[in-house]
Structure 1
Amino acid sequence: MVENYLIRIVFFTKNGKKVYTRLEEGLKNVVFEEKGEKTSLKDFAKESFEYHIPLVFIGATGIAVRTIAPFIEDKLYDIPVIVIDEKGLNVIPVLSGHYGMGNDLARDFAKVLNANPVITTATDVEGVYAIDSFAARNGFRILDKSKIKDVSMKLLEGQIVYYKNEIEDLKFQDKEPKNINQASGEKIDFVFTNDKKKDDGTLKLTPKTLVIGMGCKRGKSFEELLSFILEDYTLEELKDNLYGICSIDKKANEIGLLKLAAYLHCKFITFLAEELESVSGDFSESEFVKENVGVGNVSERAAVCVGAKLIAKKQARDGMTKAYATRDLRSIKWQE
């Protein structure tokens, strides 16, 4: 199981290009889209925000800040933006460090470059648990961003925060982090719930449960793939409730699927044929598919491979396949 990313990148000097080459060689689960010479920097950044694709600048922080300023709107929807100096000495997440996972990406980049990750978010600096990073990592929506700071401030001050679990199927594999306790009569600071109303003053985390297994012929466009699943769900439903798009490892660098996952604010997860084959269930098998990719069904098996229950079997059209599943919430982890 591998999480894959589409990331856009821009550099300005020969040294910057060398840094980019090192990243490209060192990050096998990332497909980079480089800014073309004929594309303006402003247009490149604008489109990155529109399609929700993380953006990396190799150059001065000032250039990055001035470029992205017109497109910043909401910390829960803005893309992660990372700046790396042209010698690859420092990696700086400047936007969406927690919910956009910018801090984690910066650490991954720094490891490849043997660089210094310049992390400035208070919870990271103080070694305090970040509830918004937890939400992003485990596929939870945060309904009101203003409540994040209330939880973070209490943790930064060494206070205990209390949570309530209203989701019957939600089970954790590990113990709560320091200063996070399940409530037993205390005032609740945050709650795991399926209730999507924002009006009670509590930080609400609602799970994204939909999983889509997908396969496609090489070169299928983002537009074709999006249209294919919009036959069954609205764009709002997908952005609110889609946990991940899953496929076989041979599709890990399929631009259409990578762009689709970025646009829908969800994970793109791929599995080896052996992992897909090991999943038990009643699947629509094809000898032709098995001869080509090593397993008789990609979409259905991939959908359930994250620990999910199939709710709609494979549908196929124009070289694309899809299957839908609901995620099992018994394997959530507080810690990575």
Structure 2
Amino acid sequence: MSQMYAVVAITKHGVELARRLAGQLPGADLYYMEKFVRGDEEKLGVKLFSGSVRLLLPDLFQRYSGLILFISLGAVVRMIAPLLKDKKTDPAVVVIDDRGEHVISVLSGHLGGANELTRRVAAILDARPVITTASDVRQTIPVDLFGSPFGWEIESFERATPVSAAVVNEERVIVIQESGEPDWWTYDKPLPEHIRVFSSTREAWEQEFDAALVVTHRLLSEEEEQRFLSNGVLYRPKVLVLGLGCNRGTELEEIEQVVKETLSEQRLSIKSVRNIATIDLKKDEPGLLALCRKYGWRMEVYSPPELNTVALPHPSETVYRYTGAYGVSEPAALLSSGATDWMLTKKKAGNVTISIAMVPHPSRVEVKRSE
């Protein structure tokens, strides 16, 4: 999707509201019918159309991440029904009545962001937001968005619907959080009694529950998967930092193979990697840059004096002669992660050296329970 929002109106009053909204909503393109032309459309970048809006929607559905439609709800439902594909890819769809009194989240409320867009649009128009998603109404954990503000990635989406049902129906739900940001409960009320939090699978092993949300950087064992993911969702927090060093000209394929093999050996998920870290001499290394592009990781680089502030178990005089630093992968991993120790101090494989550290987060402070 190349653009953010398409604002579409097909009535006189709708055009008035749409022009007002588009002027205050960054990233919005405005569309309305030619018969409502004002003369300033070219200056404002308004897209005019004639004929049925139904012919316009398939293109907008593909090009925009959100559609804001000043069209009746029933008409919108009928028009978009043939366009629906998957909740993971369908755009947000928001409908506004002709008087601008209600802003309704229609499609992709969570993953597509329609609920949040509904709130933004309602604030601009001084309208009432209408959101029917159960987790929003009940102010509880949105399973398909859990941890998304922190960049957590869902690895097992298959059970999201029944787990969501367990959460909103106040069944017995456990949250197992072994890593990641602890402040995910943002509501100004206590955590409900039916949701219990544990710091490890071992701690939760004997508990009885109906659904589980598991937050970990580890690769789970087969037994753990059977125990907690039969009706559970697995989340990958971005907590691993890979300190990397390599000889000049090392190909992407070799670096990637070392990274994958090492993470597998350590029983760590590649989806929990936050970034790589290295010496500033490698900031333009093609293989490292290609690795970052492929996985969407950022690269953090440090100067030799910065790297030398980290005490190393086995400083290398050879590395110092070539780089001015007594080590690359180990100190870079600690500096970038903020950790005080390594998960993997250092592994040398062919032309690549790798170290792993985990971003530290404080243990979750248990919120006061509801009475």
Structure 1 match to 2:293: 233
Counterpart residue number, 2:195: 180
Q: What CA deviation, in whole Å up to 9, does each residue of 1:81-110 have, x standing for no partner?
A: 100112111111111112222111111211
Of residues 24, 27, 32 in structure 1, which corresponds to 2:28?
Answer: 32
- Matched residue, 1:76: 88
Structure 2 residue aligned with 1:110 = 122
Question: Aligned equivalents of 2:11 and 2:133: distance in 1?
Answer: 29
Partner of 1:131: 143
Q: Give the direction of change, closer, same or farther, for the CA distance of 1:74–1:140 in structure 2 (3 Å limit).
A: farther
**Which gives a bigger RCO, structure 1 or 2 (Cα 8 Å, sep 6+)?**
1
Alpha-carbon separation, structure 2, partners of 1:98 and 1:332: 27
User: Match of 2:214?
Assistant: 191
Q: How does 1:51-66 map to 2 (within 5 A)?
A: 51=63, 53-66=65-78
Gaps in structure 1 of 5+ consecutive residues: 212-228, 245-280, 283-307, 310-326
- The 1-side partners of 2:196 and 2:215 are apart by 13
Shift of 1:78: 1.7
The aligned counterpart of 1:164 is 176
CA deviation profile, 1:119-174 (whole Å, cap 9, x unmatched): 1122233333322233443333333444223232222232341122244xx13136
Aligned partners of 1:333, 1:76: CA distance in 2, in Å?
Answer: 30
CA distance in 1, matches of 2:359, 2:63: 28
Label 1:54 to 1:136 Cα distance change in 2 as closer, same or farther (>3 A).
farther
- Could you state the TM-score of these two structures normalised by the residue count of structure 1? 0.55
Counterpart residue type for residue 171 of structure 1: E
How much does 1:56 deviate? 0.9
* 1:85 aligned residue: 97
Q: For the residues of structure 1 that align with 2:216 and 2:6, how far apart are their CA atoms?
A: 35
Partner SS, residue 13 of structure 2:
helix
How far has the Cα of 1:182 moved from its partner?
A: 1.9
| Percent of aligned positions that are identical | 26
In the alignment, the residues of structure 2 paired with residue 23 and residue 193 of structure 1 have an alpha-carbon distance, to the nearest angstrom, of: 41
Match among 1, 9, 12 for residue 10 of structure 2:
12
Which residue is equivalent to 1:204?
234
- The amino acid across from 1:173 in the alignment is D
Aligned pairs for 1:34-49 (under 5 A) are: 34-35=30-31, 36-38=47-49, 41-42=53-54, 44-49=56-61
Distance 2:88 2:160 in 1: 11
Contact 1:54 1:80 in 2 (8 A): yes
Quote the residue 2:152 is aligned against. Answer: 140
CA distance in 2, matches of 1:149, 1:38: 39
CA distance in 2 between partners of 1:196 and 1:49 (Å): 37
CA distance in 1, matches of 2:86, 2:360: 28
Counterparts of 2:60 and 2:360, CA distance in 1: 31
Is 1:94 aligned to 2:106, yes or no? Answer: yes
Q: Aligned-pair distance for 1:52? A: 5.2
Unaligned runs of 5+ in 2: 32-46, 239-272, 276-288, 304-335, 338-357
Structure 2: how far apart are the matches of 1:17 and 1:123?
Answer: 33
Q: Is the 8 A contact 1:99 1:135 kept in 2?
A: no
- 1:180 alignment partner AA: I
Residues 134 and 43 (structure 1), Cα distance of their counterparts in 2 relative to 1, 3 Å cut = farther
Structure exhibiting the larger radius of gyration computed from Cα positions: 2
Instruction: Tell me how far apart the structure 2 counterparts of residues 139 and 331 of structure 1 sit (CA, whole Å).
Output: 17
The code of the aligned residue for 1:205 comes to Y
| Matched letter for residue 204 of structure 1 | L
Farther-moved stretch of structure 1 (116-125 vs 100-109): 116-125
CA RMSD across the alignment: 4.1
Deviation string, structure 1 residues 236-269 (Cα, Å, up to 9, x no partner): x45xxx7x9xxxxxxxxxxxxxxxxxxxxxxxxx
Shift of 1:207: 3.7
**Structure 1 24/190 Cα, relative in aligned 2: closer, same or farther at 3 Å?**
same
- Structure 2 length-normalised TM: 0.51
Q: How far did residue 231 of structure 1 move?
A: 9.6
